Amino acid sequence: MFAKIVLVAAVAAIAEARFGQEGAIQATIQGLSSFGNPGQAATLAGQTPGVLLAGANACAKLSLADQIVTALGNDAAVLAAAAQLVGAEKNFNPSAQSIPTLCSDATLPATAALRGIVPLVDPSVTGAEVENANAATSLQTPFSATGLSVADVAKAQGFTNFTAQANA
């Protein structure tokens, strides 16, 4: 009986480690309440879980990041929060899909400071170690992205195990 309890607790801890990551980004964006109109940061923060769901269009989080900058301004804190959203891992269900989706719309994100950032991907994806290292690098120093989509930038940096998804 004790072994079952330990096993269930371990599985729950692993599941928690992979899901619910959008909460940190949501809290960061909600913390921008001193920018924009009252309530705007909270409203935008409330949209983050939806754009990070496995079934969400890969371009939706890039559009939301642009909306955050448009609504809250281009202060360094706002840009850093929006960049975290661009670089965030979308939830991924390996039993429902075999590879992640990345946005193939070269116009997104439209905010220059957010271009060249590539997202994290689930560590179970083949090539994730390359993409996740690139994602960390790109948050510090974005890659060249002139005329390129996020999918194009990821491919140029050596990660190709994804499905390109157009803006819906």
How many CA within 13 A on the CB side of residue 36?
23
All structural domains of the chain with their residue ranges: 22-165
Judged against a pLDDT cut of 80, whether residue 103 lies above it is answered with yes
Segment 17-42 shows an average pLDDT of 85
Distance CA 109, CA 150 (A): 8
How far lies 96's CA from each of 11, 100, 123, 152, in Å? 19, 11, 16, 24
Q: Are 104 and 166 in contact (CB under 8 A)?
A: yes
Instruction: Read off the pLDDT of residues 47-96 as tens digits, 9 standing for 90 and up.
Output: 999 999 988 999 999 999 999 999 999 999 999 999 999 999 998 777 77
Instruction: Read off the pLDDT of residues 104-154 as tens digits, 9 standing for 90 and up.
Output: 999 999 999 999 999 999 998 999 999 999 999 999 999 999 999 999 999
Residue 71 sits at the vertex; the CA angle it makes with 40 and 100, to the nearest 5 degrees, is 90
pLDDT on residue 40: 97
pLDDT on residue 20: 55
Judged against a pLDDT cut of 60, whether residue 2 lies above it is answered with no
